[in-house]
């Protein structure tokens, strides 16, 4: 009995499927960042082309391709109102790449697909420069190179293992050159640092907050920033004091909190100091911030002096924030000194006071009535009013929850204080600030992150999106702004012990926990995040200063850009010259008759004589006679002359090799017969 063997696909079909597979590897990392319609359209067209290749169906006509192109452009314009810009450009490049596969008929079309595939991979750096993205891009490059190697091997039936081995060897040979260029090439601002569409931040924090927004982020376990504490002789701060300051929100319309309309105009001059002073010793820290497409830094409260950030110009604001001059679109590292106990903004102008007492009229009447009762009860003692509100939160049956329910009421503070009595940090902070303002105490909301967890592998503190938090600041005479976290009154474990709320586990998560175990998962996550930080440290944050330090360690600290560029050019020219000399020597060492015969064999292979590489001149002449008959008479005569030159070179009738070359170029090759 014979064993069943898988059917061997025709070479053309196999080549097409290999190209389509490499295109799929290019598209898969893009799916997470493309609009849903673009991903669906691209994957459907690619699946359609795969089906046509497997079934041997004809490719679509020009009119259908034109309609698909018009659909792609029209949908892009509807989505982005333009075809210009990073987002719209990436969508178009992806769709054009897939459309090109629908008209792939010749080797020339495959080369265009390879070029578009490599270019599409570069656009992924506009989205992410993480280690996982780099691994996905490396696999896609490997697949494209394998398909490209296959396209340059028209003879035979190279196996997939052979193609992967050859392309992998090419990547290994190119790795040293890539490493030298990475370490020595002058550092410029990356292309992916260009400004992108506004309000597309990945952290979810922005210059505004609607009740319920941060609650959605609390279930996101992705990393927002990493912190290293490096103060000699000091222990890291306790978790309850780890407040990372983000946008400060002071304008309220009843449901929506936003930065003050003149917040950007209150930015201090670059050389000014913040109206704050540190009390006690400063805590040194270093933050590696993930890109969030906004201008503000996340700094540990309170960072009075300007943080040290490479190639960044930072601007302080009167709200104790630090801003960059352009959105943060790549991983950014900076160092700062924070005073966990500080005095801030002891002087408040009448304009600032009115701004932080602003409330929409006719909203939250029950909260306003309660605030007036507190004022009547405690008189001018603002501290007593604050303590009374916190005590009410602690003892009034309020609940800290991820699922406070959807509300359509315009009286958000009244609803929290008197009806629902449950909410997440933003509900609690918003209701507390409204109460303070109604009682005549200037107050505002600060958003950011609170807490963090220490990675036992590398000692870094990881702050996740689930640590997103909102708290309040109140202003007291002669004391200035004070941080009040009303969530702590409702759920002390949130800040004291960093016990986050978690959404119910899905079936997949429960299965993984049961099979692998939470402890193993935690250890794997810690190791992966440590590796990610090394990637950020060694690759993404390899700046001009790091390069200067490397040159200094190599004794090349006096080198300038022109020196490095000259040496790189010299090395490149030397390598090219070496390849050229080697190729020339190889050609000189090869028998000129064999080279000419090899060209003829290659031409005959492409013309349809399958065993041309194993036949001699006379055998090739017989094969040409069998294939094309008398139509190939000039070719047969030339092949017999080649045999005569090889084996009877001194005969008077034997033409010279130069004459045979001229005859070869003048040959008119028969056309392959159609079956």
Q: What is the pLDDT of residues 255-290, one digit of tens each?
A: 788 887 655 555 655 555 566 666 778 888 989 888
Phi, psi angles (nearest 5°) of residue 318? -70, -5
Helix pair 86-101, 107-123: axis angle to 10 deg: 160
Radius of gyration of the chain (CA): 35
- Angle ∠(600,605,609) on CA atoms, nearest 5: 110
**614 annotated active-site:** no
Q: Which residue has the higher pLDDT, 526 or 455?
A: 455
For 74-103, the DSSP string reads: HHHHHHHS-S-SHHHHHHHHHHHHHHHHTT
Confidence at 2, pLDDT banded by 50, 70, 90: very low
Three-class DSSP category at 464: strand
Three-class DSSP category at 226: strand
Q: 489-514 in b/e burial notation, b at 16+ Cβ within 10 A?
A: bbbeebbeeeebbeeeeeeeeeeeee
Confidence at 461, pLDDT banded by 50, 70, 90: confident
Query: DSSP character for 417?
Result: I
pLDDT at 3: 45
Query: Secondary structure of 611-655 in the HEC alphabet?
Result: CHHHCCHHHHHHHHHHHHHHHHHHHHHHHHHHHHHHHCCCCCCCC
The bridge status of strand 308-309 relative to strand 314-316 is unpaired
| Positive/negative CA dihedral, 308, 309, 313, 316 | negative
Phi, psi angles (nearest 5°) of residue 470? -135, 135
pLDDT at 372: 94
Q: 620-659 in b/e burial notation, b at 16+ Cβ within 10 A?
A: bbebbeebbeeebeebbebbebbbbbbeeeeeeebeeeee
**425 annotated active-site:** yes
Which of 32-46, 79-93, 266-280, 396-410 is predicted with the least confidence, judged by mean pLDDT?
266-280
pLDDT at 194: 43
Question: 295 exposed, middle or buried (CB, 10 Å; 0-12, 13-18, 19+)?
Answer: middle
Contacts by 56-59 with C-beta closer than 8 Å and gap 24+? Answer: 56/13, 59/102, 59/103, 59/104, 59/105
Picking from 189, 192, 224, the residue whose alpha carbon sits closest to that of residue 310 is 189
CA dist 436 and 618 (Å) reads: 102
Q: Which residues pair with 286 in a beta bridge?
A: 228, 335
Length of the chain, in residues: 675
Query: DSSP character for 590?
Result: S
Q: Which residue has the higher pLDDT, 437 or 86?
A: 437
Helix pair 657-666, 633-647: axis angle to 10 deg: 160
Find all residues with CB under 8 Å of 426, minimum gap 6, and list them. 209, 211, 212, 213, 214, 215, 445, 447, 470
What's the pTM value of the predicted model, to 2 decimals? 0.63
User: Could you tell me if 571 and 177 are in contact, meaning their C-beta atoms sit under 8 angstroms apart?
Assistant: no
ω into 302 cis (within 30 of 0):
yes
Picking from 105, 88, 109, 85, the residue whose alpha carbon sits closest to that of residue 97 is 109
State the chain's mean pLDDT as an integer.
80
Joined together, the tokens standing for residue 437 give 């303002």
| 327-357 residue pLDDT tens | 887 788 888 888 888 888 888 888 888 999 9
Joined together, the tokens standing for residue 394 give 């602690």
pLDDT at 200: 39
Across the range 633-637, mean pLDDT stands at: 88
Q: Which residue has the higher pLDDT, 216 or 71?
A: 71
pLDDT at 588: 61
The catalytic position among 411, 425, 467, 533 is 425
| 150-199 residue pLDDT tens | 888 876 778 888 899 999 998 888 888 777 777 776 665 444 444 444 33
**44 annotated active-site:** no
Q: With pLDDT > 70 as the criterion, what percentage of the chain qualifies?
A: 79
């Amino acid at each position: 009995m014979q064993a069943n063997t898988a059917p061997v696909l025709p070479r053309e079909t196999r080549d097409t499927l290999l190209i389509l597979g490499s295109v799929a590897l290019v598209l898969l990392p893009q799916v997470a960042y493309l609009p849903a319609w673009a991903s669906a359209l691209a994957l459907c067209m690619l699946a359609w082309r795969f089906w046509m290749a497997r079934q041997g169906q004809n490719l679509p006509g020009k009119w259908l391709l034109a309609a698909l192109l018009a659909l792609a452009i029209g949908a892009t314009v509807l989505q982005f109102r333009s075809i210009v810009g990073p987002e719209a450009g990436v969508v178009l490049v992806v769709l054009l790449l897939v459309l090109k596969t629908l008209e792939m008929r010749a080797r020339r079309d495959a080369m265009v697909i390879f070029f578009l595939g490599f270019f599409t991979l570069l656009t992924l750096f506009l989205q992410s420069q993480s280690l996982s993205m780099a691994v996905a891009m490396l696999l896609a490059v490997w697949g494209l190179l394998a398909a490209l190697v296959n396209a340059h091997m028209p003879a035979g039936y190279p196996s997939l293992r052979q193609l992967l081995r050859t392309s992998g060897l090419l990547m290994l040979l190119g790795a040293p050159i890539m490493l030298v260029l990475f370490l020595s090439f002058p550092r410029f601002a990356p292309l992916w640092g260009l400004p992108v569409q506004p309000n597309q931040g990945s952290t979810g924090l922005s210059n505004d907050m609607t009740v319920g927004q941060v609650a959605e982020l609390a279930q996101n376990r992705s990393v927002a920033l990493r912190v290293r504490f490096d103060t000699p002789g000091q222990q890291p701060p306790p978790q309850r004091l780890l407040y990372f300051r983000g946008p400060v929100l002071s304008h309220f319309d009843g449901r929506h909190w936003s930065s003050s309309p003149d917040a950007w105009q209150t930015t201090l001059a670059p050389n000014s100091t913040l109206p704050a002073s540190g009390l006690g010793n400063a805590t040194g820290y270093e933050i590696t911030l993930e890109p969030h497409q906004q201008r503000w830094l996340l700094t540990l409260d309170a960072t009075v002096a300007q943080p040290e950030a490479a190639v960044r110009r930072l601007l302080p604001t009167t709200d104790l924030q630090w801003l960059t001059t352009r959105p943060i679109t790549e991983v950014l590292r900076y160092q700062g000194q924070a005073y966990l106990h500080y005095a801030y903004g002891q002087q408040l102008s009448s304009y600032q006071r009115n701004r932080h007492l602003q409330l929409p009229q006719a909203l939250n009447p029950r909260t306003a009535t309660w605030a007036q009762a507190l004022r009547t009860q405690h008189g001018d003692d603002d501290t007593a009013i604050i303590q009374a509100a916190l005590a009410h939160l602690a003892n009034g049956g309020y609940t800290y929850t991820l699922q406070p329910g959807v509300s359509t009421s315009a009286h958000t503070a009244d609803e929290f204080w008197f009806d629902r009595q449950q909410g997440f940090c933003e509900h609690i902070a918003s209701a507390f600030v409204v109460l303070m303002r109604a009682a005549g105490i200037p107050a505002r909301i600060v958003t950011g992150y609170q807490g963090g967890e220490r990675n036992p592998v590398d000692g870094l503190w990881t702050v996740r999106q689930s640590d997103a938090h909102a708290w309040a600041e109140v202003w007291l005479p002669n004391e200035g702004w004070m941080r009040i976290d009303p969530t702590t009154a409702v759920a002390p474990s949130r800040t004291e012990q960093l016990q986050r709320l978690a959404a119910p586990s899905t079936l997949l998560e429960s299965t993984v926990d049961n099979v692998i175990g939470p402890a193993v998962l935690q250890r794997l996550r810690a190791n992966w995040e440590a590796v990610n930080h090394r990637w950020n440290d060694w690759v993404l944050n390899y700046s001009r200063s790091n390069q200067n330090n490397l040159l200094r360690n190599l004794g090349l600290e006096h080198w300038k850009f022109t020196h490095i560029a000259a040496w790189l050019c010299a090395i490149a020219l030397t390598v090219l010259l070496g390849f050229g000399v080697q190729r020339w020597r190889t050609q000189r060492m090869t028998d000129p008759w064999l080279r000419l015969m090899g060209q003829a064999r290659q031409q005959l292979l492409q013309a349809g004589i399958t065993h041309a590489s194993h036949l001699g001149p006379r055998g090739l002449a017989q094969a040409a006679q069998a294939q094309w008959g008398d139509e190939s008479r000039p070719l047969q005569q030339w092949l017999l002359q080649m045999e005569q030159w090889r084996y009877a070179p001194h005969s008077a009738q034997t033409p010279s090799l130069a004459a045979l070359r001229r005859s070869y170029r003048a040959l008119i090759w028969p056309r392959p017969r159609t079956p």
